[in-house]
Amino acid sequence: MPSGPTSDIIVEETSFLSNGDATLKVRLFRPKGDGPFPAVVECHGGGWCVGDRTNNDSMNSAVARHGILVAAIDFRMPPHAPYPAAVADVNFAIRWLKANAERLGTHASMIGVMGSSSGGHLTLLSAMRPDDPRYLSIKRPDIGEDASVTYAVSLWPVICPRGRYRYLKGIPKSRAHPVLMEGIDRHDAFWGNEDAMAEGSPVCALERGETMRLPDVLYIQNEDDNLHPRCDMDRFVSAYAQAGGKVTPELFAGASYDFLRAHPDSPEAQRALGIVCAFIKDKAKRA
């Protein structure tokens, strides 16, 4: 595996899923050279309701230049597809990448997930419940049914949708940034109610004692993030460890909560990028 960055990557797109609801595309960031390379299925943020596979282009291309294949996917969103449709799309994307691993220069055992904000929630929830019948609902004869992964990179994830919803609802509108208020509407559109938010919360599921898969997790967040409550992160780290899982939290400073995506050339972003790539390579090598 390459140890340092290179400019030699290939960016290409294809459809990975076509059904009656939608045709979903994946943008592949592929390192040039001899594989097999570690690979991640990547999901963008946007409160589960906006954005597409191009949102994190700068970050994904930087990761690929470190010798990691990134498959950035689209997924179904409200108003046509509320929860759990997006998680089913992530589940299928993992299985699709495994089925095409050799052709794309990776190996099924080296595949993990990576996501930012609400995308960090989607990828980790799928990784923790790869066998959930709702998430495994999309079947295709040429695609297997093993959506398990051994590692996940969670970048400022909405780790507890209900916790974040209640946090946003508690902010006086006179003091809240419009982005925070938009978050309330997006929670409502995707989840419908707080019971669904709790059911689909990795934090709440762990605290309920639900039996789940526990891939190794790298959890990155800006220490001054006011969009992703620190208390929910702390709850997750504690509950994950108590359940027997391994999570590595990394706190950073930066100009914005999504510094790694929005300010990729900053010193903090470059340091975070190094940690992300080293984590992925280490976990893929051990798989």
pLDDT in tens, 187-200: 999 999 999 999 99
Going by C-alpha positions, the residue among 127, 121, 1 that lies closest to residue 69 is 1
Strand partners, 222: 252
Distance CA 72, CA 78 (A): 19
- Phi, psi dihedral angles at 176 (to 5 degrees): -90, 145
Q: What integer best gives the mean pLDDT of the chain?
A: 94
Rounded-to-integer distance, Cα 166 and Cα 249, Å: 23
- Mean pLDDT over 14-43 rounds to 93
CA dihedral of 104, 25, 227, 264, whole degrees rounded to 10: 50
- How far apart (Å, rounded) are the C-alpha atoms in residues 161 and 130? 19
Tens-digit pLDDT profile for residues 95-135: 999 999 999 999 999 999 999 999 999 999 999 999 999 99
- Which amino acid appears at position 192 of this protein? G
Determine the Cα–Cα distance for residues 76 and 220; give it in Å rounded to an integer: 25
Residue-level pLDDT at 1: 41
Whether the Cβ atoms of residue 162 and residue 197 lie closer than 8 Å to each other: yes
pLDDT at 7 over 90: no
Tokens representing 160 are 């507890």
**pLDDT score, position 8:** 86
User: Considering the chain, what percentage of its residues have pLDDT values greater than 70?
Assistant: 96
- Average pLDDT of 20-37? 91
Q: Residues near 86 by Cβ (< 8 Å), separated by ≥ 6?
A: 48, 75, 76, 77, 122, 190
Model pLDDT, residue 2 = 41
Q: What is the rounded CA–CA span in Å between residue 221 and residue 18?
A: 34
Please give the average per-residue pLDDT across 37-61, as a whole number.
97
Q: DSSP readout, 132-157? A: -TTTT---BTTB-S----SEEEEES-
Q: What is the DSSP letter of 71?
A: E
* Structural domains present in the chain: 9-286 (3.40.50.1820)
The span from the CA of 264 to the CA of 273, in Å, is 9
State residue 174's pLDDT score: 66
Contact 31, 277 (CB under 8 A): no
Distance CA 245, CA 238 (A): 10
Q: What is the pLDDT of residue 176?
A: 62
Nearest one of 165, 160, 205, 209 to 184, comparing CA atoms: 165
At residue 180, the pLDDT reads: 77
User: pLDDT value at position 165?
Assistant: 97
Average confidence (pLDDT) over 242-267 = 94
Give the pLDDT band of residue 83 (cuts 50, 70, 90): very high
Write out the H or E segment, with its range, that includes residue 82: none
Among residues 38, 48, 22, 177, the alpha carbon closest in space to that of 115 is found at 48
How far is residue 17's CA from residue 139's CA, in Å, rounded to a whole number?
10
Residue 158 predicted with pLDDT over 90: yes
Q: Is the model's pLDDT at 3 over the cut of 60? A: no
